[in-house]
Each structure stands twice: as structure tokens, then as C-alpha cells.
Homo-oligomer: A and B are copies of this chain.
């Protein structure tokens, strides 16, 4: 690897001059000198060390990205969009870390980022506690958090970007209701996060506005420390079992996300229930996998690309007036993609419910 000195020598100029052309300060430079330097750069295949440069400037073209698990297709999807955009628009590379939703791992990642001179980071965490994030901000980082909101009333220096989870769940639920479902369930994993609770609120809101609040409930499955990939199968299995042995079981289920919906459909099938003829399910996310599942999964499409870009933008630009609060962007999620996992509730179940209602009268 040749250095700036090598180039300087080759071009018979000083290192400063080379540095100047490197940084575009080329206005007041003699044409001939510039040419010589450029020629030397090419000849020696010289590439400046971002490393040494950073030691001086304090800036490194790196972006941190923290995900629970990159094996989760949703995070993989986001990560790809983030990396592609950060690279194309800002020439930044991305440093990635799996946290398994573990606070220690998150904190340790932040430490390392700092040590590497990385000052911009996007975190997908949903850990209840945000203190390590605000701490990072105090240490000079620009942090963008996905799928959380700032605690209302609290000033926050961390940027938040999220889909409109409330609306997404409401759309999904309304879709079920429009198909005639009256017994609804919201399927989620154990452990509450802001985004999950927003979705649950949206679910209940849709149920309430249709006068179905009493027939709507939340069911939980799976381990609480889940990070959303392989374990989703077990969670779906758990949930299917819960549903099957339910005396008055729901006919329409909205799943907290596509992976859960997929796991759920798989569990349902194992127990002999058919989707959509026995039970309808709708997901949220809009993973490409929902298009090739069987049956095709009806789902609420999240604007992943737009959110990813927005996160990168925020991470790159930072809060303009340094004393102003960070951003809180909520993205519309109005796009329901209809496929085959939703149908009218089965007649049989309807009669079961009718009977029940009669009994209770």
C-alpha cells in the first residue's frame, strides 16, 4: 500500500499538495502540478487510508447498524436497504451487530463503535430501556431508533422512525371484520414492546368501532427473549395449540408480523385447521415471503425502503440545530396486500357462536 508520501515523492511535490488534490482544493493550483499528482496517484494505485484521515478529522465513513438478529428476514430486508442507500448516497459502509435483544450486547456494540470512531448508528432494538441510547447520544453519537417512539413529554436526543403500527393493525383487523369475522384474536410473542402495544391498540380500536370489543383478545406464544427467526416456528405451534383448545375460538387472527403469521399458519395446519376456510390470518410487514407462502399471506405492507432511507438520512444529517429535539417520524402504512389467507368465517363456527349467544341469553 503506497502512502501519501510515496505519491508526493513520485510527483516531486510535498504531501500537503497531494492532500490538497485529494480533498479537491485544487482551484489555486497550477494545472501542471495537478496533472503530475494525479498521474502519480494512478501510477502508484494510491488509495488514501480512511483510517489515518480519520485520526485527523474525527470522521469515519461508517454507519453502525444494530439488529436483534440478521437471520430474521425482516431485519435482513431493512439491513439491505440501509446498506445500499448509505453506500450509494453517502459512501458509507455499515458495521453490523446482532444483539439477540440483549442489553449487554447492545451496550458493548456501542462501546466498540465509539472506539472505532463511528458516530452514527441505527438501532433496531425495542428494548424497553433506552438509557444506553441516550447515553450514546451524550457521548456524541447520532442515533436513530427504529420502531419505537419517544416517550411522550420527554425530550429525547435519539431520533425515532417507525411505521404507523396502530394504523397497520387497525387496517388488518378491519379487513377481517369486513369479511364477516366477529371473533378476533391478535397473535403475538411474549414480551411487550412499544410497537407491539401500538399494534394491540389498533387491533382493539378496530374491534371496538365494530362493536366487537368483547370478542377480541390477545394471545401470546413463544419465549419472551425471542429475537424473531427460527424460534417463530415454536411460537406458531404454541399459539395454534392454544387456539385449537379454545372453547370459543377466534375465526380471524391478526399476527404481530409476517413471520408470526407464517409460523401460526404452520401450527394451525399441524392441528388440522385450514387457512382460510377455518381460520383467517393476516400479517404485517410485507416480506417477500408472504407472497410465496401457502396460502399466500394477506398482509399490511410496510414502507421498508422509505423508512430505511429516512433512517439513513437522519443518521447522516443529524439534528440540525444542536439544541433542538430529535425527530420522530411515523410512516403511513395503508397498503393492504390481499392474497389468500383471508376468507369469510366458516358457517359452522358461526352457528357455534349463535348457540353460545343463545345460551347466555
Q: How far is the CA of A114 from the CA of B48 in the complex (A)?
A: 9
A50 lies within 8 A of B115 (CB): yes
Which of B77, B87, B111, B229 is A97 in contact with, Cβ under 8 Å? B87
Q: How far is the CA of A184 from the CA of B186 in the complex (A)?
A: 43
Question: Which residues in B have their C-beta under 8 angstroms from that of A73?
Answer: 71, 73, 76, 289
Q: A76-B70, A93-B97 are in contact. Are A116 and B266 (CB under 8 A)?
A: no
- Which B-chain residue is minimally distant from A67 (CB atoms)? B80
A47 lies within 8 A of B96 (CB): no
Question: Which residues in B have their C-beta under 8 angstroms from that of A69?
Answer: 80
Does A316 sit within 8 A of B, measured CB to CB?
Answer: no
Stretch of A166-174, A194-202, A292-300 with 4 or more beta carbons under 8 angstroms from chain B: A292-300
- Which B-chain residue is minimally distant from A105 (CB atoms)? B87
Does A263 sit within 8 A of B, measured CB to CB?
Answer: yes
A286-327 vs B: 1/0 string, CB under 8 Å? 001101111110000000000000000000000000000000
- Which B-chain residue is minimally distant from A269 (CB atoms)? B294
Question: Which residues in B have their C-beta under 8 angstroms from that of A48?
Answer: 115
- Which B-chain residue is minimally distant from A79 (CB atoms)? B70
8 Å CB interface, A80-94 against B: 80, 83-84, 87, 93-94
Does A1 sit within 8 A of B, measured CB to CB?
Answer: yes
Q: How far is the CA of A353 from the CA of B324 in the complex (A)?
A: 75
Stretch of A52-60, A124-132, A149-157, A211-219 with 4 or more beta carbons under 8 angstroms from chain B: A52-60
Question: Which residues in B have their C-beta under 8 angstroms from that of A117?
Answer: 49-51
Stretch of A13-21, A26-34, A230-238, A343-351 with 4 or more beta carbons under 8 angstroms from chain B: A230-238
- Copies of this chain, tallied across the complex: 2
Does A223 sit within 8 A of B, measured CB to CB?
Answer: no
A135-163 vs B: 1/0 string, CB under 8 Å? 00001100000000000000000000000
Find the residue from A52, A72, A76 having the highest chain B CB count within 10 A.
A76
A291 lies within 8 A of B1 (CB): no
Question: Which residues in B have their C-beta under 8 angstroms from that of A114?
Answer: 1, 47
Question: Which residues in B have their C-beta under 8 angstroms from that of A139?
Answer: 1
B70 lies within 8 A of A292 (CB): no
Tell me the minimal C-beta distance from A5 to chain B in angstroms.
14
Which of B72, B265, B292 is A232 in contact with, Cβ under 8 Å? B292
A sample of 15 inter-chain contacts (CB < 8 A) reads A50-B117, A51-B51, A60-B116, A72-B76, A80-B229, A93-B97, A93-B112, A95-B95, A232-B292, A233-B291, A233-B292, A262-B289, A266-B292, A266-B293, A289-B289
Given contacts A48-B115, A70-B79, list 17 more A-B pairs with CB under 8 A. Answer: A1-B139, A47-B114, A49-B115, A49-B117, A50-B117, A55-B55, A69-B80, A71-B73, A71-B76, A73-B73, A73-B76, A77-B229, A93-B109, A93-B116, A232-B288, A266-B291, A269-B294
